[in-house]
């Protein structure tokens, strides 16, 4: 466990090697990148076993594995470069390393022949290294550094095909939008540090729990922290970058959505949740409400989107909102469980979508369809992913969603619970629609469908490997499963905030949610089966709503308007100020003044002796007169 720092260090080293020697390596070094992330994945197991042993040995006093080096040291200001392993970290580690490994194997085939093939794998390595560092960081400053590293890599990868204007725009949008949140994150970190005098997460939590912070101050600080999560995890109102991020290569989307980018916000909030709890209740309410708004908004937008990847992107927003609702209900268990299974089924969905795009070179669901017979493996695994997302028993998504619903029911008001249930219905609806339009019934574009075929093993094997945890991953909630694997119990006894909890099956909630989900699926089936007549009729009948959804609630337009009118307006004023006041008056003015002084005054230097002598004489006379007038006694 002490050597956990190796987990991010190996991909980081791989990145450096690829950056320098990549073009000279055989196959441009893709094997090196995969080997590095594979090593990280393998290294995860000893860390896990160590941790489980430590927990079993001494559960009460357990504080996690720590390893740190001195990083910056001044008198009174010390930062350690530290790594910290505990249960939450472990969950993240397995998701990140496993999904990243799958995605990279998949990419070998998907990215084959790309002119920047080697660069792609180099950045993938850096991406994984950044995320693993973020997960393992024991202090907020290191976490922030890794956080920015993740953002930077996502910028590079979303804009990987930067020749395409939309890709470059999307990369810029993602970068700038998340940056807005990051500023808040940094402010929050500084606020926490100011009072506690340390960046160490555990010490800050300890400080906060002992009431070291003023309540209002702490609330403001955690809300700033949450701003970072909003940006990174694409929560309303900073969600606009996530759908656009689909411009990147599909494996990148899978990685960003499932493992390395958006869950960072959830992880950070989960990690800092004791601080949120210590703050005023408003903080958690904000988390809940924004999560809920995101859930409902993204679910409805998912109904109208036609790009296969965008639909899945909305489902990610949906899931992330779910996790934040769980966190708002003070349940690390539910949030991390959802994150855990979400990582698998969401990457499965994306990689499945990638397989479809790879086979047909189309991504608009209105041009797809009828692929089930041509691509059986993709279809089946995609169906499993959809089932997990919808929450069909016994797929993994069901258990996680059930957990979220349970904590929402017990911690939040009935209204919020009802809204979450509605979102479950809509989720089922649009996921069904996506599946039907993509894989079933008559192909809309017969030519593309005729040429579609299953990809090679490098494409299908990761799908199958990801399908396994998608199906069984949820079973970790059971105490008996956990005990069989050597854990003290189920997921609830492994990851918890206040008290470890034995798993309890809430039949009422399970029935309710299953009924809602099935209703959604059935409705979707009725609406979009065959030629989707019902859906077309409904859309035509409610065209304003459809427009509203397909225009994404006009939020992007509002932002664009704001940028055009407010930001650019202010920019105009600032640029005028810079040009006229700073440049013309300040810089040019002082330069002109000294030029004028130098040029004009130099003519008084005639070089003629009598002039200088006159100056001396005048000086003497003036001094003499002054002495006389003021009667100075020498």
**Angle at CA 323, nearest 5°, toward 181 and 38?**
85
Instruction: Pull the structure tokens for residue 329.
Output: 């209900």
What are the CA-CA distances from residue 292 to residues 67, 286, 426 (Å)?
38, 10, 13
Closest distance of CB 584 from other proteins, Å: 28
Only one of the segments 79-87, 250-258, 454-462, 623-631 lies at the binding site for other proteins (rule: CB under 8 A); that segment is: 623-631
Dihedrals φ, ψ of 80, to 5°?
Answer: -105, 145
415: contact with other proteins by CB under 8 A: no
Closest CA to 4 of 122, 137, 144: 137
Q: Which lies closer to other proteins via its Cβ, residue 394 or residue 619? A: 619
Task: Please pick, from the candidates 415, 605, 630, 632, the single residue that binds other proteins as defined by CB under 8 A.
Answer: 605
User: If we measure between CA atoms, which residue out of 509, 499, 501 comes closest to residue 477?
Assistant: 501
- Closest approach, Cβ 594 to other proteins, in A, equals 15
Q: Does 499 bind other proteins (CB under 8 A)?
A: no
Smallest distance, other proteins to C-beta of residue 620, A:
7
Spatial distance between the Cα atoms of 95 and 473, rounded to a whole number of angstroms: 11
Write down the least CB distance from residue 600 to other proteins, Å.
Answer: 10
According to CB under 8 A, which residues from 457 to 486 bind other proteins? none
The answer to whether 233 and 266 have CB atoms below 8 angstroms apart is yes
Does the footprint of other proteins cover residue 634 (CB under 8 A)?
no
- Based on CB atoms, which residue is closest to other proteins, 574 or 614? 614
Please check whether residue 96 is in contact with residue 128, taking contact to mean a CB–CB distance below 8 angstroms. yes
**Which of 69, 603 has the CB closer to other proteins?**
603
If one asks whether residue 618 binds other proteins (CB under 8 A), the answer comes out as: yes
Which region among 104-112, 162-170, 500-508, 607-615 touches other proteins (by CB under 8 A)? 607-615
Out of 414, 603, 630, 632, the only residue in the binding site for other proteins (CB under 8 A) is: 603
Lookup: tokens for 330: 């003070």
- 614 near other proteins, judged by CB under 8 A: yes
Rg (CA), the chain: 30
Residue 611 engages other proteins in binding (rule: CB under 8 A): yes
Q: Report, in Å, the least distance between residue 630 CB and other proteins.
A: 13
Q: Which is nearer to other proteins, 484 or 628 (CB)?
A: 628
Instruction: Tell me whether residue 215 or residue 611 sits nearer to other proteins (CB atom).
Output: 611
Q: Which of 366, 480, 547, 606 binds other proteins (CB under 8 A)?
A: 606
CA distances (Å), origin 207, targets 191, 196, 228, 277, 355: 13, 7, 21, 13, 49
Beta-carbon contacts of residue 323 (< 8 Å; ≥ 6 apart): 263, 266, 291, 335, 338, 339, 342, 404
Is 632 a binding residue for other proteins by CB under 8 A? The answer is: no
Give 67's strand partners.
83
The span from the CA of 319 to the CA of 585, in Å, is 54
Cβ proximity of 162 and 171 under 8 Å: yes
Q: What is the rounded CA–CA span in Å between residue 68 and residue 82?
A: 4
- Least distance in angstroms from the C-beta of 617 to other proteins: 4
Residue from 69, 75, 610, 632 that binds other proteins (CB under 8 A)?
A: 610
Give the number of other Cβ atoms within 10 Å of residue 538's Cβ: 14
Comparing CB distances to other proteins, the nearer of 456 and 624 is 624
Least separation in angstroms between residue 613's CB and other proteins is: 6
Measured CA to CA in angstroms, residue 78 lies from 191, 193, 201 at distances of: 16, 11, 14
Applying CB under 8 A, which part among 146-154, 288-296, 387-395, 600-608 lies near other proteins? 600-608
Point out which span in 211-219, 253-261, 557-565, 609-617 binds other proteins (CB under 8 A).
609-617
Contacting other proteins (CB under 8 A), which of 176, 418, 526, 621? 621
- Are the CB atoms for 264 and 150 separated by under 8 Å? yes
Nearest approach in angstroms of CB 179 to other proteins is 54
Between CA 396 and CA 384 the distance in angstroms is 10
Residues 283 and 289: their CA atoms lie apart, in Å, by: 10
Contact between 630 and other proteins (CB under 8 A)? no
Q: Which residues pair with 69 in a beta bridge?
A: 81
Instruction: Work out whether 602 is an interface residue with other proteins (CB under 8 A).
Output: yes
Direct distance between the N- and C-terminal alpha carbons of the chain, in angstroms, rounded to an integer = 86
Query: Which of 74, 609, 630, 632 is the binder for other proteins (CB under 8 A)?
Result: 609
Tokens of 198: 């340390």
Q: In this complex, which beta carbon is closest to other proteins, that of residue 526 or of residue 626? A: 626
For residue 628, state whether it binds other proteins (rule: CB under 8 A): yes
Pairing of strands 77-85, 65-74: antiparallel
243, 313 contact by CB (below 8 A) = yes
Query: Are 39 and 10 a contacting pair, CB within 8 Å?
Result: yes
Q: Is 165 in the site for other proteins (CB under 8 A)?
A: no
Stretch that binds other proteins, among 67-75, 111-119, 472-480, 604-612 (CB under 8 A): 604-612
DSSP summary character for residue 75: T
User: Which residues share a beta bridge with 79?
Assistant: 72
Q: Please select the residue that binds other proteins; options are 570, 580, 593, 620, rule is CB under 8 A.
A: 620
| Residue choice 76, 540, 607, 632 for contact with other proteins (CB under 8 A) | 607
Q: What number of chain residues touch other proteins (CB under 8 A)?
A: 19
Q: 568 or 625, CB closer to other proteins?
A: 625
Of 165 and 602, nearer to other proteins (C-beta) is: 602
- A 10 A CB-CB count for 453 gives 12
Contact residues: other proteins, CB under 8 A: 602-603, 605-611, 613-614, 617-618, 620-621, 624-625, 627-628
């Amino acid at each position: 466990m002490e050597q956990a720092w190796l987990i991010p260090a190996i991909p980081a080293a791989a990145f450096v090697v690829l950056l320098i020697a990549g073009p000279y390596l055989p196959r441009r070094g893709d094997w090196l990148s995969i080997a590095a992330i594979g090593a990280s994945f393998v290294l995860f197991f000893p860390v896990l076993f160590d941790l489980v042993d430590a927990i079993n040995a001494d559960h009460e006093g357990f504080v996690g594995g720590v390893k740190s080096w001195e990083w910056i040291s001044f008198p009174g200001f010390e930062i350690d470069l530290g790594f910290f392993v505990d249960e939450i970290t472990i969950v993240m580690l397995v998701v990140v390393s496993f999904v990243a490994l799958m995605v990279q194997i998949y990419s070998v085939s998907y990215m084959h022949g790309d002119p920047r093939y080697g660069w792609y794998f180099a950045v993938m390595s850096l991406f994984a290294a950044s995320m693993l560092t973020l997960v393992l960081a024991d202090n907020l400053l290191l976490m922030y550094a890794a956080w920015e590293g993740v953002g930077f890599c996502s910028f590079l990868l979303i804009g990987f095909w930067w020749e395409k204007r939309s890709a470059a725009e999307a990369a810029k949008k993602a970068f700038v939008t998340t940056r807005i949140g990051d500023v808040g994150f940094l402010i929050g970190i500084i606020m926490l540090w100011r009072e506690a005098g340390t960046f160490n997460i555990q010490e800050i939590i300890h400080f906060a729990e002992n009431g070291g912070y003023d309540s209002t101050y702490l609330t403001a600080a955690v809300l700033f922290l949450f701003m970072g999560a909003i940006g990174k995890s694409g929560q309303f109102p900073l969600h606009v970058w996530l759908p656009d991020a689909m411009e990147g290569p599909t494996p990148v989307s899978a990685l960003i959505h499932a493992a390395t980018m958006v869950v960072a916000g959830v992880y950070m909030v989960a990690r800092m949740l004791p601080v949120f709890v210590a703050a005023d209740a408003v903080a958690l309410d904000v988390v809940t409400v924004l999560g809920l708004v995101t859930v409902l908004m993204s679910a409805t937008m998912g109904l109208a989107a036609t790009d296969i990847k965008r639909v899945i992107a909305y489902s990610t927003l949906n899931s992330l909102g779910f996790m934040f609702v769980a966190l708002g209900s003070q349940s690390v268990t539910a949030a991390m469980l959802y994150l855990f299974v979400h990582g698998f089924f969401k990457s499965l969905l994306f990689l499945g979508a990638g397989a479809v795009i790879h086979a047909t070179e189309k991504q608009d669901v209105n041009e797809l369809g009828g692929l089930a017979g041509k691509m059986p493996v993709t279809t089946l695994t995609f169906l499993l992913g959809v089932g997990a997302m919808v929450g069909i028993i016994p797929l993994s998504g069901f258990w996680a969603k059930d957990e979220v619903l349970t904590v929402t029911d017990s911690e939040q008001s009935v209204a919020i619970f009802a809204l979450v249930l509605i979102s479950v219905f809509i989720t089922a609806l649009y996921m069904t629609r996506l599946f039907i339009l993509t894989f079933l019934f008559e192909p809309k574009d017969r030519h593309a469908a005729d040429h579609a075929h299953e990809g090679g093993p490098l494409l299908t094997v990761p799908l199958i490997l990801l399908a396994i945890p998608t199906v069984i991953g949820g079973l970790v909630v059971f105490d008996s499963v956990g005990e069989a694997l050597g854990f003290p119990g189920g997921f609830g006894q492994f990851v918890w905030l206040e008290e470890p909890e034995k798993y309890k099956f809430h039949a009422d909630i399970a029935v309710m949610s299953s009924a809602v989900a099935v209703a959604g699926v059935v409705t979707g089936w009725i609406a979009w089966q065959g030629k989707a007549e019902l859906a077309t009729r409904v859309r035509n009948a409610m065209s304003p709503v459809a427009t509203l959804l397909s225009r994404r609630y006009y939020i992007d337009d509002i932002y664009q308007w704001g940028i055009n009118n407010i930001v650019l307006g202010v920019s105009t004023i600032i640029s005028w100020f810079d040009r006229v006041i700073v440049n013309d008056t300040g810089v040019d003015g002082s330069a002109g003044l000294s030029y004028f002084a130098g040029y004009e005054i130099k003519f008084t230097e005639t070089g003629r002796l009598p002039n200088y002598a006159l100056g001396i004489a005048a000086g003497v006379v003036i001094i003499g007169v002054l002495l006389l007038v003021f009667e100075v006694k020498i």
